[in-house]
Amino acid sequence: MSRFVYADNAATTKLSANAFEAMKPYLTEYYGNPSSLYHIGVETRKAVDNARADVAKALNASKPNEIYFTSGGSESDNWAIKGAAELGAKKGRKHIISSKFEHHAVLHTLEYLEKHGYEVTLLEVHEDGLVRPEELEAAIREDTALVTIMFANNEIGTIQPIKELAAIAHKHGVLFHTDAVQAVGTVPVDIQDLGVDLLSLSSHKFHGPKGVGALYIKKGIRLPALIHGGAQERGIRAGTENIAGVVGMAAALKESTEHIPERNPRLEKIRDKLIDGLLTIDRSRINGDRKSRLPGNINMCFQGIEGESLLLMLDMQGVEASSGSACTSGSLDPSHVLLSIGLPHEIAHGSLRLTFSDDNTEEDVDYILEVLPPIIERLRSMSPLWEKIIKENNENI
């Protein structure tokens, strides 16, 4: 029996019906500019303020005005890192520490800063996809301006010990930013408990609308503007507010955060069932630590096959997934994340990422376990690489 299974929720999620309902009035009757004094402007101002308060509450920020709305995760990352770099430079600190498997919104921003006189140290993430706190401590220098380490990885779903890492940075008087785009709405994120200074999030990863996000900036940090212009967002992020966007984001965040206690144990159960089932396939492996991992993330490699052809065949069976192969990354190299955990190119090319949300069920897992093994067998039967692997009887990966 065929089925449609959307299993690419780390790429983006479906808009929640509640978020959509909350947005509608701001796409129709309430079109006033929140900076205006008249009635419809006051209504939209209230909506933006309420959204800010809701986001702050969901993340346990101490004040709503620590939440700054942006156009999404990429902008938040750019702003946090470039802003902190500028603050550091004023004090003669031009060194930044990050990790090897950050999202490109972070890595490419750091490359840009390197071209402008900053020095960057990228921490190893080891085979389990986790940074080692003692390696962070060892990398901190007198001139370190910022540590930026992602909360949860978008490909292999590993969750870093953010609280511990932030404490190490603070012990040395260094600012700490985390790209929490994959974590917010998915796992509990308590900003005051974590003690981070800056945190990026993106609405479309937790069933909110696309093109909107936020940056948390701890009170007292005077981050310079990235987008200059009007006085919105306390004068440091100009541009007429994306009212429907922030309203939808706040509604989606509230909903997805509230669902964590019942959703995550269920997702972990079906995730583990799928991982265990797929590990019975000859020469397969799971990428990243199994415990410190997002509840809906499955990332596997199957030796002897290439990821894109696997995705195309899965798509023909109604399963939408993603891969870190070169062909799907649009470059010659497979995903930098898979390489960073020490996988050789030829194994990284055969990767498959399945990411679940609340909409996924055990029936989806059973269906994937039914359709995927024959696809792998078929691709292997036509793969000269598989032939070689079998002939040489290479050890299991």
Partner 1 sequence: MAYSEKVMDHFANPRNVGEMPDADGIGEVGNPKCGDIMKMYIKVKDDTITDVSFKTFGCGAAIATSSMATELVKGKSITDALTLTNKAVMEALDGLPPVKVHCSVLAEQAIKAALSDYYKRQGIDPEPIVGTIPECEECSFEEG
**Cβ proximity of 70 and 223 under 8 Å:** no
Shortest Cβ distance from residue 262 to partner 1 (Å)? Answer: 36
From its phi and psi, is residue 208 left (phi > 0), alpha (psi between -120 and 50) or beta? beta
Active site residues: 327
If contact means CB under 5 to 8 A according to the sort of partner, which of partner 1, ligand PLP, none does residue 191 touch?
A: none
Shortest Cβ distance from residue 181 to ligand PLP (Å)? Answer: 4
Nearer to ligand PLP, 160 or 284 (CB): 160
Distance CA 21, CA 251 (A): 9
Q: Which residues sit at the interface with partner 1, rule CB under 8 A?
A: 304-309, 312-313, 316, 325-327, 330, 332, 334, 344-346, 349, 382-387
Helix (H, G, I), strand (E, B) or coil at 121: strand
SS3 content of the chain, % helix, strand, coil (to 5): 45, 15, 40
Among 32, 34, 72, 209, binds ligand PLP (CB under 6 A): 72
Among 178, 182, 232, 355, binds ligand PLP (CB under 6 A): 182
Helix (H, G, I), strand (E, B) or coil at 214: strand
Helix (H, G, I), strand (E, B) or coil at 315: helix
Distance CA 237, CA 209 (A): 20
Q: Is 34 in the site for ligand PLP (CB under 6 A)?
A: no
If contact means CB under 5 to 8 A according to the sort of partner, which of partner 1, ligand PLP, none does residue 182 touch?
A: ligand PLP
The CA R_g of the chain, rounded to the nearest whole Å, is: 22
Q: Name the one residue in this structure whose structure tokens are 């964590």.
A: 260
Q: Fill in the per-residue mask, 314 to 353: x = in contact with ligand PLP (CB under 6 A), - = not in contact.
A: ----------------------------------------
Among 73, 208, 209, 307, binds ligand PLP (CB under 6 A): 73
Classify strands 144-148 and 95-99 as parallel, antiparallel or unpaired.
parallel
Nearer to ligand PLP, 143 or 320 (CB): 320
Nearer to partner 1, 296 or 307 (CB): 307
Spatial strand order in the sheet of 297-302: 284-286, 297-302, 351-355
Distance CA 253, CA 245 (A): 12
Among 144, 202, 303, 355, binds ligand PLP (CB under 6 A): 202
Shortest Cβ distance from residue 9 to partner 1 (Å)? Answer: 20
Residue 50 has, within 13 A of its CA and on its CB side, a CA count of: 15
Shortest Cβ distance from residue 308 to partner 1 (Å)? Answer: 4
276: its two tokens: 């265990």
Among 32, 34, 213, 350, binds ligand PLP (CB under 6 A): 213
Shortest Cβ distance from residue 8 to ligand PLP (Å)? Answer: 11
Cα Dmax for the chain: 77
Residues pairing with 5 in the sheet: 319
Nearer to ligand PLP, 76 or 284 (CB): 76
If contact means CB under 5 to 8 A according to the sort of partner, which of partner 1, ligand PLP, none does residue 382 touch?
A: partner 1
**Cβ proximity of 84 and 175 under 8 Å:** yes
The residues binding ligand PLP (CB under 6 A) are 72-74, 77, 103, 105, 150, 154, 179, 181-182, 202, 213
